[in-house]
């Protein structure tokens, strides 16, 4: 039995030449970066799912929902999510610019996405006051604030990420990896928006419907 296939000295060995393989790939499930991003997405998705489950669990503990409070006002939250959903279009274009190595396109769409992240954060500030409660009022208020706060952390991190990446696209140095970064960054924003939809429905509409 040959105990070692790696150290064998006998020429000639059969060889698999991989030198021609690409270093930059964009397919889903293909790059390790994609798997890293998806890992983050699943972890954070689990956080949100557990938070929403806690929300509905706490709902069963009291008779009125929200207890002794006015429901959250719709204006800022609704405008904000509308912008977020529309931002999926420039986000898609950024992703496309990334996967076709289009540097000018990356710069353009990343700049737009950076600005959108500022707008969303600005509106998010007002969303907190339109919740019409403070986190220390009761358990409803605590869970409502925590869900919105948790999502805000995602807005901040993704916004920061987009800004940094965009700066890199302008200052260089550029390599294939940067275009993959653009693509994965867009994937992550898709998740932030996707998670936003159930959160919006629960925070703003569940108190009206339940």
Partner 1 sequence: MSSQPQREMNSESLEPRPRTPMSDAEARNWLQRTWDDGKGFTSWFQQVHHTVIGRRYIITAFCFFLLGGLLAALMRIQLSHPENHFLSPDFYNQVFTMHGSTMMFLFAVPVMEAFGIYMIPLMMGTRNIAFPRLNAYSWYLYVCGGIMLYVAFVLNTGPDVGWFAYPPLSGPDFSPGKRADFWAQMITFTEVAALAVAVEIITTIFKLRAVGMSLNRIPLFGWAMLIHSFMVIFAMPAVALDSSMLLMDRLISTHFFNPAEGGDALLYQHVFWFFGHPEVYIIFVPAMGIVSEIIATFSRRPVFGYPALVLALVANGFVGFGLWVHHMFATGLPMMGYSFFTAASLMIAIPSAVQIFCWIATLWTGRINWKTPLIFVIGFFAIFVLGGLTGVMLASVPLDTQVHDTYFVVAHFHYVLIGGALFPLFGGIYYWFPKITGRMLSEKLGLWHFWLFFIGFNLTFFPMHILGLKGMPRRVYTYLPQNGWGTMNFIATVGALFMTAGVLFWLYNIWTSYRRGPLAGDNPWGASSLEWATNSPPPIYNFDELPTVNSRTPLWTATAENPVIRGLRIDDREVLITRVLDAEPDHINSFPKPSPWPFWSAMATTALFVGSIFNGYALYIGAIPLAFTLTMWFWPKKHEIALEEAEGVRR
Q: For the segment 35-64, give every residue that binds partner 1 (CB under 8 A).
A: 35-36, 39-40, 42-44, 46-47, 50-51, 54, 57-58, 61-62
Q: For the segment 113-152, give every residue that binds partner 1 (CB under 8 A).
A: 135-143, 145-146
Are 37 and 184 spatial neighbours (Cβ–Cβ below 8 Å)?
Answer: yes
Are 162 and 207 spatial neighbours (Cβ–Cβ below 8 Å)?
Answer: no
> Which CB, 19 or 209, lies closer to partner 1?
19
Q: Which of 88, 168, 187, 194 binds partner 1 (CB under 8 A)?
A: 168
Residue 209 binds partner 1 (CB under 8 A): no
Residue 103 binds partner 1 (CB under 8 A): yes
Are 133 and 69 spatial neighbours (Cβ–Cβ below 8 Å)?
Answer: yes
- Write the CB contacts of 145 (distance below 8 Å, at least 6 apart in sequence): 128, 131, 133, 134, 135
- Candidate segments 32-40, 70-78, 185-193, 201-209, binder of partner 1 by CB under 8 A: 32-40
How many chain residues interact with partner 1 (CB under 8 A)?
Answer: 68
**HEC profile of 73-108:** CCHHHHHHHHHHHHCHHHHHHHHHHHHCCCHHHHHH
Q: Which of 160, 197, 208, 210 binds partner 1 (CB under 8 A)?
A: 160
Say whether 51 sits in a helix, a strand or coil: helix
Distance of alpha carbon 189 from alpha carbon 84, whole angstroms:
9
Q: 198, 194, 188: which is closest to 85 by C-alpha? A: 194
> Which CB, 138 or 190, lies closer to partner 1?
138
> Which CB, 75 or 100, lies closer to partner 1?
100
> Which CB, 78 or 99, lies closer to partner 1?
99
- Candidate segments 119-127, 167-175, 184-192, 195-203, binder of partner 1 by CB under 8 A: 167-175
Residue 18 binds partner 1 (CB under 8 A): yes
CA dihedral 148→118→77→189, nearest 10 degrees, is: -70
CA dihedral 118→124→126→131, nearest 10 degrees, is: 180
Interface residues toward partner 1, by CB under 8 A: 1-10, 13-25, 29-32, 35-36, 39-40, 42-44, 46-47, 50-51, 54, 57-58, 61-62, 67, 101, 103, 135-143, 145-146, 160, 164, 168, 172-179
């Amino acid at each position: 039995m040959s105990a070692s296939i790696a150290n064998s000295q006998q020429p000639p060995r059969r060889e698999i030449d991989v030198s021609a393989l690409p270093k930059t790939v964009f397919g889903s499930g293909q790059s390790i970066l994609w798997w890293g991003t998806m890992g983050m997405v699943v972890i954070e998705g689990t956080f949100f799912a557990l938070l929403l489950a806690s929300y509905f669990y706490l709902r069963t503990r009291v008779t009125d929902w929200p207890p002794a409070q006015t429901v959250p006002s719709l204006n800022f939250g609704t405008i904000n999510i509308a912008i977020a959903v529309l931002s999926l279009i420039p986000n898609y274009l950024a992703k496309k610019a990334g996967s076709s190595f289009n540097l000018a396109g990356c710069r353009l769409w990343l700049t737009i996405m950076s600005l959108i992240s500022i707008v969303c954060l600005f509106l998010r500030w007002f969303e907190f006051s339109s919740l019409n409660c403070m986190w220390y009022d009761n358990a409803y208020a605590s869970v409502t604030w925590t869900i919105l706060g948790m999502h805000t952390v995602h807005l901040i991190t993704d916004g920061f990420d987009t800004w940094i990446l965009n700066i890199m696209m302008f200052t260089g140095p550029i390599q294939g990896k940067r275009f993959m970064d653009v693509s994965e960054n867009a994937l992550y924003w898709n998740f932030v928006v996707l998670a936003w939809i159930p959160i919006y429905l629960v925070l703003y509409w569940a108190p009206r419907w339940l």
